[in-house]
């Protein structure tokens, strides 16, 4: 038997028992693996539902343009459906979203406009505002507005909730899900609580989001809002799809815990999922005292890990944010293994003959070039030789006349792999600023010594 098109494969995703990562939780923990949807995320469900409802209501007409603000997954679902149904897509997203998500949207023929993250929703530059402006300016266009479009939660009420109920044979006692637009958790919760009002619905929030405090106090506190890294959950406003009456508790998870747990899921369970899944499992473990033997906990795994290769699955990205500490050599440890010596620099106004004297005296092959104490370039032994062979009269010219681009700067947490990749025939060293603001230089020789253990 075959399907008539890819949209018919949406839904009926598997429920998989978690074992190693949840060993300290007395309950049975099952993950709803939404990565098996054709767009690799749970958002396929609501994207198709929103489009079908808009068609029924005459809001989306043949040849129309779908315009939406999206973190990537909803856009993928919309773009996929648009291809089958003959619509164009324009998406706005934020600059905190992974490059992989943006690239995936463009692979489906969508136009993607990247907007700044750290602005108010009402700011004309925000991805909410830009998408609304484009709708006003584009003939025959429609904005799904996934945050306030109740077709979002209805999709999960009609599909995801019944699937979970059937797959657990009605034994589910707890639902754990990240809360972003609110459609997933609210739609599933509505269906499950209609079957059994005692089912506990636990929402995962992030620091920098307003949900938890609003649930507990009824106060929308703008002081709760600040930039965060975690993708797919949390908001700085209250979407209509978030039904606080259906969510029994919100648990906040830090960016660091979410990012590291995202990696742990693949390492311990062999399930390759994204950032919001990491948040959900980290929150689940924080709430372990809520569960007892005999409980059946279902946690939603919304999307695929491939959309986070440049972030949660990139060790240098994690180190730059202080999320990852391990035994692999970094710029910090390479410097620590070096003999303490002050870096030699030369001012850009010094002459080339003076630079030659410095190189001979100190037996070095390259010197960073400074202007008013700031590194602006470099000169190398081979560069000086090439310049003088071409024009011997340059001997009395200032160093800046032959200086080339500066050595790359790296962070103290940059891994040895990244540093090695930056050192080549054009860049024979990298620079790093230590905790005291002093500039250090790392050469290939320093890397070899650090690896071999030579002081």
Closest listed residue to residue 398, CA positions, set 429, 373, 417, 377: 377
Q: Rounded distance, CA 449 to CA 335, Å? A: 11
DSSP string of 417-448, one letter each residue: HHHHHH-SSS--EEEEE-TTS-EEEEEHHHHH
DSSP string of 196-260, one letter each residue: -TT-EEEEEEETT-SHHHHHHHS---GGG-------SS--SS--TT--TTT--EEEEE-HHHHHH
Q: Assign 119 a pLDDT band (cuts: 50, 70, 90).
A: confident
Q: Rounded distance, CA 435 to CA 313, Å? A: 27
Closest listed residue to residue 345, CA positions, set 322, 369, 371: 369
Q: Containing H/E element for 297? A: strand 296-301
Task: Extract the tokens encoding 259.
Answer: 């990012």
Does the annotation mark 350 as catalytic? no
Q: Rounded distance, CA 204 to CA 248, Å? A: 11
pLDDT of 351-390, one tens digit each? 999 999 988 888 888 889 998 888 888 888 888 988 888 8
Q: Is residue 62 pLDDT above 60, yes or no?
A: yes
pLDDT of 147-170, one tens digit each? 999 999 999 999 999 999 999 999
Q: Rounded distance, CA 68 to CA 148, Å? A: 12
Q: Assign 136 a pLDDT band (cuts: 50, 70, 90).
A: very high
What share of the chain has pLDDT > 90, as a percent?
Answer: 61
Q: Which of 17, 23, 32, 43 is catalytic?
A: 43
pLDDT of 397-419, one tens digit each? 999 998 888 888 888 888 888 88
């Amino acid at each position: 038997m075959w399907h008539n098109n890819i949209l018919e494969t949406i839904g009926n995703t598997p429920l998989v028992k978690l074992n190693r990562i949840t060993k300290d939780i007395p309950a049975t923990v099952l993950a709803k693996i939404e990565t098996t949807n054709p767009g690799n995320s749970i958002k396929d469900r609501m994207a198709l539902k929103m489009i079908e409802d808009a068609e029924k209501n005459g809001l989306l007409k043949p040849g129309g343009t779908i315009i939406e603000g999206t973190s990537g997954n909803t856009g993928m679902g919309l773009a996929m459906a648009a291809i089958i149904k003959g619509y164009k897509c324009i998406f706005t997203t934020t600059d905190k979203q992974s490059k992989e998500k943006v690239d995936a949207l463009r692979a489906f023929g969508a136009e993607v406009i990247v907007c700044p993250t750290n602005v108010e929703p009402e700011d004309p530059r925000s991805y909410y505002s830009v998408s609304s402006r484009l709708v006003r300016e584009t003939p025959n266009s429609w904005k799904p507005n996934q945050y306030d479009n109740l077709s979002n939660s209805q999709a999960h009420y009609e599909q995801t909730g019944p699937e979970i109920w059937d797959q657990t044979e009605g034994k589910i006692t707890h639902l754990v899900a990240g809360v972003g637009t609110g459609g997933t958790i609210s739609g599933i919760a509505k269906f499950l609580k209609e079957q059994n009002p005692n089912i506990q619905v636990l929402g995962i929030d992030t620091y920098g989001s307003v949900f938890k405090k609003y649930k507990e106090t009824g106060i929308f506190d703008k002081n709760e809002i600040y930039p965060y890294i975690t993708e797919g959950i949390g908001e700085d406003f209250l979407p209509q799809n978030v039904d606080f009456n259906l969510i029994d508790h919100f648990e906040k998870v830090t960016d660091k815990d979410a990012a590291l747990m995202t990696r742990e899921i693949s390492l311990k369970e062999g399930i390759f999922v994204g950032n919001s899944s990491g948040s959900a499992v980290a929150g689940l473990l924080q709430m372990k005292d809520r569960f007892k033997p005999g409980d059946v906990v279902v946690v939603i795994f919304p999307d695929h890990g491939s959309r986070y290769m440049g972030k949660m699955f990139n060790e240098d990205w994690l180190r730059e944010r202080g999320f990852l500490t391990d035994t692999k050599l970094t710029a910090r440890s390479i410097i620590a293994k070096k003999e303490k010596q002050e870096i030699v620099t030369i001012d850009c106004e010094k002459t080339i003959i003076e630079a030659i004297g410095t190189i001979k005296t100190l037996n070095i092959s390259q010197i960073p070039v400074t202007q008013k104490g700031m590194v602006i370039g470099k000169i190398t032994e081979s560069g000086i030789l090439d310049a003088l062979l071409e024009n011997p009269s340059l001997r009395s010219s200032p160093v800046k006349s032959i200086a080339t681009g500066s050595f790359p700067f790296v962070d103290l947490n940059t891994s040895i792999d990244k540093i090695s990749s930056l050192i080549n025939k054009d860049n024979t060293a990298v620079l790093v600023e230590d905790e005291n603001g002093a500039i250090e230089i790392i050469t290939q020789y320093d890397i070899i010594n650090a690896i071999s253990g030579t002081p």
